[in-house]
């Protein structure tokens, strides 16, 4: 299937590694011109070169900390002039820490809010006028399966992601008339550094991963490229009638029927 991304320009945040990198690679492989952002500019440039080598498509790397308003503004200003348009916005950020509710103070709540909810609002607000100008667009938010089923110790993540779900639904309403779709992708366990870092320090990593996979009907942890394939579809012309939804990708792990 040709996803018709050939002349599209995609901005992918938190893309030096993990899910963001896999998504940027998939979009570039489908022919999109991709602009990637995250904090570590050395890693980001390496990633851009890697994707370019792999796909043959140009990738632009621009450093940005998505929790900072002034950096977001400078990032989108540069991204917008790079190719003169923005068609696809992939909102993504590092995840907040896991712990019990009683261990988080105001500062940690504020940080999670700025990183995982306000950054998505700010980036969308700055990109929307470019999409409105061309009369179409795709906004895709990476959130978490914790919006569908309880995940222990994920109170910061779940609270902010629930906010994104509500925001996306209202944005889908408001920007539908411009052919702009807004959707959320909710991963279960997808193998990235973030997941590797949550494994018990004293355990054998392979065994610990197999242990985690036992509760997943498909019997394994997901691959970043599997999530990226879903995102590429949501970004495509063929997904023009999908908006305001939250799609899980978790190997069947979520126990909820709805």
Q: CA 217, CA 223: separation in Å to the nearest integer?
A: 15
| Shortest distance in whole angstroms from residue 80 CB to ligand NAP | 18
Write down the least CB distance from residue 130 to ligand NAP, Å.
20
Nearer residue to ligand NAP within complex by CB, 45 or 132: 45
Q: How far is the CB of 25 from ligand NAP (least distance, A)?
A: 13
Question: Of 106 and 193, which CB lies nearer to ligand NAP in the complex structure?
Answer: 193
Our CB check for ligand NAP shows the closer of 36 and 175 to be 36
Nearer CB in complex with ligand NAP: 139/175: 139
Compute the C-alpha angle 95/77/126, nearest 5°: 60
Please report how close the Cβ of residue 133 comes to ligand NAP at its closest, in angstroms.
26
The CB-of-228 to ligand NAP minimum distance in angstroms stands at: 11
Nearer to ligand NAP, 95 or 137 (CB): 95
Q: If you count them, how many residues does the chain have?
A: 258
The 3-state secondary structure of the chain reads CCCCCCCCEEEEECCCCHHHHHHHHHHHHCCCEEEEEECCHHHHHHHHHHHHHHHCCCEEEEECCCCCHHHHHHHHHHHHHHHCCCCEEEECCCCCCCECHHHCCHHHHHHHHHHHHHHHHHHHHHHHHHHHHHCCEEEEEECCHHHCCCCCCEHHHHHHHHHHHHHHHHHHHHHHHHCEEEEEEEECCECCHHHHHCCCCCCCHHHHHHHHHCCCCCCCCECHHHHHHHHHHHHCHHHCCCCCCEEEECCCCCCCCC
Residue closer to ligand NAP (CB basis): 43 or 58 = 43
Residue 91 structure tokens = 């909102």
To ligand NAP, the closest distance from the beta carbon of 101 in angstroms equals: 18
Which residues in this chain contact ligand NAP in the complex, by CB under 6 A?
Answer: 14-20, 38-40, 43, 64-67, 92-95, 115, 142, 144, 157, 187, 189-190, 192-195
Cβ proximity to ligand NAP, 92 vs 181, nearer residue: 92
Closest distance between ligand NAP and the C-beta of residue 28, in Å? 16
């Amino acid at each position: 299937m040709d996803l018709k991304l050939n002349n599209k320009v995609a901005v992918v945040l938190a893309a030096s590694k993990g899910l963001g990198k896999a998504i940027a690679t998939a979009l570039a492989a489908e022919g999109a011109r991709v602009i990637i952002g995250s904090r570590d500019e050395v890693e980001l440039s390496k990633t851009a070169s890697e994707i370019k080598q792999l796909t043959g498509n140009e990738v632009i790397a621009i450093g940005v900390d998505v929790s900072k308003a002034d950096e977001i503004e400078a990032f989108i200003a540069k991204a917008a002039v790079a190719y003169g348009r923005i068609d696809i916005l992939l909102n993504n950020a590092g995840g907040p820490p896991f712990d019990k509710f009683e261990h988080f103070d105001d500062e940690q709540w504020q940080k999670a809010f700025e990183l995982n909810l306000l950054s998505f609002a700010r980036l969308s607000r700055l990109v929307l006028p470019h999409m409105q100008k061309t009369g179409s667009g795709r906004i895709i938010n990476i959130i978490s399966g914790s919006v569908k089923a309880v995940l222990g110790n994920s109170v910061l993540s779940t609270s902010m992601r629930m906010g994104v779900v509500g925001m996306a639904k209202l944005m889908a309403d408001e920007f539908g008339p411009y052919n702009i779709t807004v959707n959320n992708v909710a991963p279960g366990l997808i193998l990235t550094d973030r997941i590797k870092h949550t494994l018990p320090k004293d355990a054998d990593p392979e065994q610990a991963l197999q242990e985690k996979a036992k509760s997943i009907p498909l019997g394994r942890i997901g691959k970043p490229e599997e999530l990226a394939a879903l995102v590429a579809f949501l970004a495509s012309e063929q997904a023009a009638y999908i908006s305001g939804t939250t799609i899980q990708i978790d190997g069947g792990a979520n126990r909820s029927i709805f």
